[in-house]
Copies of this chain bind each other. A is one copy, B any other.
Amino acid sequence: MSDPSFNRSQLEQLISRRFFYAPAFSIYGGVAGLYDYGPTGCALMSNIIQLWRNHFVLEEEMLEVDTTIMTPAEVLKTSGHVEKFSDWMCKDVKNGEIFRADHLVEAVLEARLQGDKEAKAAASGVAHTEAPTATDPAAAKKASKKKKSKVVVVELKPEEKAAYEEILAKIDNFGGPELAEIITKWNIKSPESGNDLTAPQEFNLMFDSSIGPTGHLKGYLRPETAQGQFLNFKKLLEFNNDKMPFASASIGRSFRNEISPRSGLLRVREFTMAEIEHFVDPDNKEHSRFDDVKDIKLNLLPAAVQLEGKTDITVMTIGDAVAQGVVDNKTLGYFLGRIYLFLIKVGINPEKLRFRQHMSNEMAHYACDCWDAEIKSSYGWIECVGCADRSAYDLTVHAKRTKEKLVVREQLDEPKVIDKLQLEVNKKVFGPKFKKNAKTVEDALLALSEDNLQKLKDELDASEKTSINVEGQDYELTKTDISIERVTVTEHIREYTPNVIEPSFGLGRILYSLLEHSWWKRDNDEDRNVLSFPAVVAPYKCCLLPLSGNSVFTPVVRNLSQQLRAKNISTRTDDSKASIGRRYARNDELGIPFSVTIDFQTVEDGTVTLRERDSTKQIREKIEVILQVLKELSEETITWDKVVATYPAFSAKEGDEE
């Protein structure tokens, strides 16, 4: 349920007024889905990134790489993105307006359900003012994505209502043909004009361009950072002294040319993501640090529950979830736990966080299992982190396409003796006989399975000749050309393509969710907004406030700000003419956790006051003491409660807070 007291437009005003972020190119009329981060948003994002790097990369010595955004088409053809990275869109047949098909269906059906509810309420004489997305979790889940559809107050038949609710619960599971069927069956039209719609057609979500002056080398802007990591697999394995498992990581910009982006930072065309590719032995998905997370309880929403049209949450420890097969393996479970811990550190409310498993049709083309960390905001439940098991998909397709071996070679503890057929090609006769096709024929022979080799061998043994069909042509082969023998070999090396577990973070979505979860109004006063960011991600840790413009404060402020910088405590000096209380309020809006006030007493005895944002409590101590306390507070090595317990409270005049 959404919090009915939550007023999103007030938060949006705050975000815009204090320049956390704003639509890009606004003086040119703006471009949907593109946003610029202002000083506060940019600092908040930097701090989230730094926290991510500490929590994941440094903590586990992951190999961070920074690869290019511009990607030649060939790479994304191989990865499957050129063919499959698309959404379904339909057009208004008359005015040409374009819709994302699934969002359109959702919007229309939700409006009809709302109309039904209002009609029934009117009939029973009960006023009904609730927002349409606030009542049904399944509908609320995707509310973010749709343009609201006009609500017509009409009662539905019970079977219609049931059908709509089922469609909404499963909406992510539908492709173009199913959406087409729904549109026809339920008579869905272009919402504003009422015109007919074209059948859904695929629209590829990658931005394309061309590289170099000839215009012949097509490129795309990457839709994810993952591919750059896969392509460097061999170098990374070598850098890691050939040890497995290991993880690479990457933080950077990616692009999706959304059909009709809405919902602010939640659906954008350009975004910063952070991705981990954890390479693991497919036969051993244990994780050495699994025990560190096994007792964490998560809110889980498995695929099976959703396919029944439900959204009930199961609360379970990660240990139990893996033991019971709800989560496939320990490495996947480990990362779900680590993701949870990261999000809590960032400041996400754990009660508004769940892990939802993908349904089979919903899964990306490369994934074999996937859990999304979804965070609840006023837009409903939104995917903010995906954690997919991409199996060996990517390394396999790139290896096949490039003929580069992307495998791990592992010394076996015990050599393995195996019995197998071995084919040898007689190079001396092969070249002259097959000429330019020699290489093709040889490759085809070497690629044969054990079974097919056996067939060839049987034919050769029986009739002295056999043949192979390559690209529609038959090539005859004799015992002079090839030999096939059964041999016993001792293998000392095991060769395998690793599987990949991929936690993938949409940092902008996390940042927006954090804004919602951190926002409150002091004393319910509309003009006293507070953003209670944890110190570690707050855009500035400290605000320096000289009591007035009196020049005696200037050297003190300069000196203090220099000392704060030297301690790496990011600081904003607010020397505007407003009262201290007014300035406290203004900096609470930026989420600055601590304020230091310099007054006439400071000039006399070298003490300053330190105020904490959420409690508004203060202490007054010598500058040296305050600096040390601030350092520990901003690194979160002590709590404010501890500080208050250690130093005597200081009472400011009441008026200061107004």
Which stretch in A29-37, A290-298, A487-495, A642-650 binds the other chain? Answer: A29-37
A257 lies within 8 A of B213 (CB): yes
* CB < 8 Å neighbour of A98 from B37, B214, B221: B214
B213 lies within 8 A of A72 (CB): no
Copies in the complex: 2
Which stretch in A232-240, A496-504, A518-526 binds the other chain? Answer: A232-240
Give Cα distance in the complex from A18 to B236, angstroms: 10
Cβ contacts under 8 Å, A570 to chain B: 58
Cβ contacts under 8 Å, A67 to chain B: 24, 36-37
Q: A64-B43, A270-B69 are in contact. Are A22 and B235 (CB under 8 A)?
A: yes
A527 interface residue, CB < 8 Å from B? no
Q: Name the prevailing secondary structure of the A interface residues.
A: mixed
Give Cα distance in the complex from A61 to B43, angstroms: 12
A270 lies within 8 A of B37 (CB): no
* CB < 8 Å neighbour of A27 from B24, B402, B565: B402
Give the nearest-CB partner of A96 in chain B. B214
For residues 197 through 213 of chain A, which have their beta carbon under 8 Å from a beta carbon of chain B?
203, 207-213
Q: A37-B66, A213-B98 are in contact. Are A19 and B72 (CB under 8 A)?
A: no
Give Cα distance in the complex from A59 to B66, angstroms: 27
Give Cα distance in the complex from A481 to B401, angstroms: 75
**Interface pairs (16), CB distance under 8 Å:** A19-B239, A24-B67, A26-B231, A35-B68, A36-B232, A37-B65, A38-B232, A38-B236, A39-B63, A39-B65, A43-B64, A46-B53, A58-B565, A61-B571, A69-B253, A213-B260
Cβ contacts under 8 Å, A54 to chain B: 565, 568
A residues contacting the other copy or chain, number (CB 8 A): 80
B75 lies within 8 A of A25 (CB): yes
For residues 5 through 52 of chain A, which have their beta carbon under 8 Å from a beta carbon of chain B?
18-19, 22, 24-28, 31-32, 34-39, 41-43, 45-46
A129 interface residue, CB < 8 Å from B? no
Cβ contacts under 8 Å, A75 to chain B: 25, 28
A142 interface residue, CB < 8 Å from B? no
Given contacts A28-B231, A42-B66, 18 further A-B contacts (CB under 8 A): A25-B72, A25-B75, A27-B402, A28-B74, A28-B401, A31-B72, A34-B68, A37-B67, A38-B239, A43-B64, A58-B570, A61-B573, A69-B69, A69-B270, A89-B213, A207-B211, A209-B221, A213-B259
Give the nearest-CB partner of A50 in chain B. B50
B31 lies within 8 A of A217 (CB): yes
A347: min CB distance to chain B, Å? 20
Write out, one digit per residue, whether chain A residues 561-573 have a CB within 8 A of any chain B CB (1) or not (0). Answer: 0000100101111
Write out, one digit per residue, whether chain A residues 241-265 have a CB within 8 A of any chain B CB (1) or not (0). Answer: 1000000000011010101100000
A309 interface residue, CB < 8 Å from B? no
A269 interface residue, CB < 8 Å from B? yes
Cβ contacts under 8 Å, A41 to chain B: 66
A576 interface residue, CB < 8 Å from B? yes
A581 interface residue, CB < 8 Å from B? no
A356 interface residue, CB < 8 Å from B? no
B35 lies within 8 A of A64 (CB): no
Give the nearest-CB partner of A18 in chain B. B239
A24 lies within 8 A of B228 (CB): yes
Give Cα distance in the complex from A255 to B70, angstroms: 9
Give Cα distance in the complex from A306 to B214, angstroms: 35
Give Cα distance in the complex from A214 to B258, angstroms: 11
Give Cα distance in the complex from A466 to B65, angstroms: 70
Give Cα distance in the complex from A235 to B38, angstroms: 8
A624 interface residue, CB < 8 Å from B? no
Cβ contacts under 8 Å, A211 to chain B: 31, 207, 257, 269
Give Cα distance in the complex from A61 to B565, angstroms: 10
* CB < 8 Å neighbour of A70 from B61, B207, B231: B207
A571: min CB distance to chain B, Å? 8
Cβ contacts under 8 Å, A568 to chain B: 54
A517 interface residue, CB < 8 Å from B? no
